[in-house]
Chain A
Amino acid sequence: MLLRHTTAKEIDRKALTINPAKTCQPVGAMYAALGIHGCLPHSHGSQGCCAYHRSALTRHFKEPVLASTSSFSEGSSVFGGASNLTQAIQTIFKVYNPDIIAVHTTCLSETIGDDLNSIVSKADEDGLIPEGKKVIYCNTPSYVGSHITGYSNQVAALVKFFSKSTSHKCNVINLVNGWMEPSDQREIKRIAKMMEIRTIMFPDMTDSLDTPLTGKYDMFPKGGVTQEDLTATGDSRFSIGIGPDCTENTCVKLDEKCHVKYDVVDIPIGLKATDRFIMSLSHHSGLPVPGCINDERGRLLDMVADNSKYLYGKRVALYGDPDTLVPLVEFLISLDMKPVYVITGSESNYFNKHMEKMLKNISGAKYKSGELADTFRLHQWIKQEGVDMIFGNTYAKYIARDEDIPLIRIGFPIADRPGHNFFPITGYVGATNLVIQILNAFLDKQDRTCEEEKVEFQM
């Protein structure tokens, strides 16, 4: 088995990352750019980066993912990538004709010091950007932060390039999406709609990375936030950033540029985080929470109560992104489970602060973020004292198999199961879905492994 290579004894590693719990910035920028209508993400670097990011996103969403590349060569590394990008801009508008090109950098173009601002300005002056079209850009050096940093940088760039304030404020709430599945975003939209709140959601991957099969292929699907809406975000009365590490930067920038006040909340995963999100929505829109939402909450509570005996005391290991892990761990504690080991490869004060607080009463609980916080380490912890369940992306399946524990797939990438882009984990409905997944995993295992005479009809 793959992870027999893991030893229980933690060796002292100073330089070596094994089986990472993160990836690099540009893929996050690419993902965020796919939530803009009519936008082609562009990777300013070697061809491989673009191919890898597209493959990773394609495997995860099972959707076409298009992005172009500057196709760096030996020459570009010596003379800079300006001519590649200038050529790329022309090629892209000629062949693919998007409304927007969203350029992000890579470790290579950053290290050789390409200045996107001057390259794009020059292209504009030379008339290479057709009327009404836009080329936006952000810096995403792969050796800083992780994929969520890249995501955050791309989203912040939307404010820089689009948001405008006129004197006319609109009764609209900006919903700035952190790294979530299209299904999670769809659920948040549904909640806002039930509350009759006017919103602009950005970026918006619904109908972009969960498109229906029609027999036709549109390079630019119908989804994604439009340029008009992005421009209008500067006139909204308030912003809610959903997931601090991915959205706080954007909210701050929008406040600075257009004076739109903001609240940054946890991603509404689980009971308490959804409570807080809905209260924030209600408070800042001035609209009440309708009964139907209360009912959804009540049904979640009812289901948890019916099944709580299967959840009590269960030890859980998790890895993923800070914005997901903080509310998820909080929810597991609400379910009377014991999140004992939590890892994220992304350096995060938000994560550290909340884990410190939430895990202090759970004996033996450990967490780590940033460099050398990898899934190899998580597995070593599990080998020292076992857990009953693991949460993670597809790579967690090796640990799950080795330890014979159920796996709940949350995170990126999920390359081996469908469902994550259909069924949300946000909101009360998403929390219900999540609890069902957890329960079914435990109960299926019990039915499969218990002694024959103990197989029971009623559970």
Chain B
Amino acid sequence: MGYILKERQNQVSVAGNHAETIDCNKASLAGSVSQRACVFCGSRVVLYPIADALHLIHGPIGCAAYTWDIRGSLSSGSQLYRLSFSTDLQERDVIFGGEKKLIAALRELIDLHHPKAAFVYTTCIVGVIGDDVEKICQIVEEEKGIPVIPVQAPGFQGTKKDGYRIACEALFKLIGRINRPTPAHSINILGDFNLAGELWMLVDYYKQIGVNVNCSLTGDGRVEDIGNAHNAALNVVQCSGSMSRLAVMMEEKYGIPWKRVSYFGIEDMSEALYLVARFFNDSDMMEKARNLVRKQFERLMPKLQWYKDKLKGKKAAIYVGGAFKAISLVKALRLIGVQSVIVGSQTGTKEDYDVIRRLCDEGTIIVDDSNPVELSNFVKEKGANIFIGGVKERPIAYKLGLGFCDHNHERKIALSGYDGMLNFAKEIYATAMSPIWKFT
């Protein structure tokens, strides 16, 4: 493994080697071709799906341009969140300050679109020139009578994970503003972003077992629903990297307990239903959950067996944003006969990596914050057939002659829940078995 930098050697580990714990949550080494993004990116992706809020990006045009409608988080109504709003800071603004421009832009925007709330993201340069964004948000909030929330996310002030934290703090400011009559068996779903309509499937499953989804943070999110989030009985947290911070804050202030779940794969999806039923300690609900799982299990297993037979012996490399997702992926791949030989993430924690190490077969490479050189070498070394990752990994995988599945925000089909598992199997099969690989 001579291609791994000395400084990075502790960020790579091998399953079965129990002596080491992995280093993570470190800033990328300067000069690396990191696959990671920044603080702004972290906050932007979490808040983005709140569909009836407006999202104004205070900075030069780039930060707004690159985050314009790039995430397939679907909305059942308002599409306001998919527009790109920027103060497009110019040199003169950098010299004289951008406050005047910001306040004018906010007023213009709110008058034009009458949103339920506004988020104002500060970017790197605003962090340096020192515009008082808090003050401006306060002025406009009083003037327009809607929540105007500063999201202080200069890109350099940490990692993408810090952006998640900042987003959680912004969301927290919205919560508790509204009190609506809320059924007793109500939960909030945290950390699902409704990619390809996945949230809607989850809401339906929960409904089938008698659970009301009070509010989604933040997929297909609405400002008023979030305002009422504190009236739910339980927070169910997926993608824990981004949202557990909010769950903790809500537990402290409102006494709402929270549970970590994953909706990916039959096993984890079913557990997510059982867990809620156990929490409400309701035998009728548990019975419904069991029936639902049984029905889905019977429906899916014969179909999945077909894929398992065909995919036997295939090996996968996983490199995704959050490690919790990677854990589910390992399990789901195992269900269809695919062995995970490389498992990595951009933002995993020590605990996540410990789970991965216990879960994976001996010899699996486990890596934090990797780069294309490492990844392509790992793939060669381990003889992977399929790569699961995001936009920047896709073309590299193809060039290497590997199948590819996008498990990031560019996925086009739902991969959560029971139907998602079937979609996943189909996608893995289609890409791993594509005739194109016979020609390379």
Closest Cβ–Cβ distance, residue A17 to chain B (whole Å): 4
B30 at the interface (CB under 8 A from A): yes
Contact of B391 among A15, A59, A141 (CB under 8 A): A59
A87 and B155 alpha carbons, distance in the complex (Å): 20
Interface residue tally for chain A (C-beta within 8 Å): 85
A77 to B127, CA, bound (A): 9
What are 27 contact pairs spanning A and B, CB under 8 A?
Answer: A1-B79, A2-B69, A15-B105, A17-B85, A17-B86, A23-B62, A45-B156, A47-B36, A47-B155, A48-B37, A48-B38, A48-B40, A55-B70, A58-B392, A62-B394, A64-B395, A68-B34, A69-B28, A69-B34, A70-B31, A72-B124, A76-B156, A77-B124, A108-B128, A143-B125, A216-B400, A345-B61
Cβ-defined contact, A111 with B128, below 8 A: yes
Contact A55 B79 (CB under 8 A): no
Given A47-B36, A64-B399, A107-B124, list of 17 further CB < 8 A pairs?
A2-B82, A7-B112, A19-B84, A42-B31, A46-B38, A46-B39, A47-B37, A49-B62, A55-B70, A58-B391, A64-B395, A71-B27, A87-B31, A92-B31, A107-B60, A142-B60, A345-B61
The reply to whether B29 and A58 form a contact with Cβ atoms under 8 Å apart is no
Within 136-171 of A, Cβ neighbours of B (below 8 Å) are at 141-144, 146
Interface size of B as a range: 35 or more
In the complex, chain B residues 63-112 whose Cβ is within 8 Å of any chain A Cβ: 63-70, 79-80, 82-91, 93-94, 100-102, 104-105, 108-109, 111-112
Q: How far is the CA of A152 from the CA of B28 in the complex (A)?
A: 30
Chain B residues contacting A69 (CB-CB under 8 Å) are 28, 30-34
Q: For A40, what are the chain B residues with a Cβ–Cβ distance below 8 Å?
A: 33
Q: Name the B residues within 8 Å of A50 (CB-CB).
A: 34
Number of A-B contacts (CB under 8 A): 254
Chain A residues within 8 Å of B64, by CB: 17, 20
Q: Are A213 and B398 in contact (CB under 8 A)?
A: yes
Interface residues of B, Cβ cutoff 8 Å to A: 3, 5, 27-41, 56, 59-70, 79-80, 82-91, 93-94, 100-102, 104-105, 108-109, 111-113, 123-125, 127-129, 154-160, 372-373, 376, 391-392, 394-396, 398-401, 440
B32 to chain A: which residues have CB within 8 Å? 68-69, 71, 91, 95
B66 and A55 form a contact (CB under 8 A): yes
Q: What separation, in Å, do the CA atoms of A351 and B123 have in the docked complex?
A: 30
A1-54 residues with Cβ-Cβ distance < 8 A to B are 1-2, 4-5, 7, 11, 13-20, 22-27, 40, 42, 45-54
A112 contacts B by Cβ under 8 Å = yes
Docked-complex contact A219 and B155, CB < 8 angstroms: no
Q: Check A437 for interface membership: any CB of B closer than 8 A.
A: no
Determine if B27 and A24 form an interchain contact, defined as CB atoms under 8 angstroms apart.
Answer: no
In-complex Cβ contact of A23 among B59, B66, B392 (8 A): B66
**Which A residues are in CB contact (< 8 Å) with B70?**
55
Q: How far is the CA of A206 from the CA of B112 in the complex (A)?
A: 45
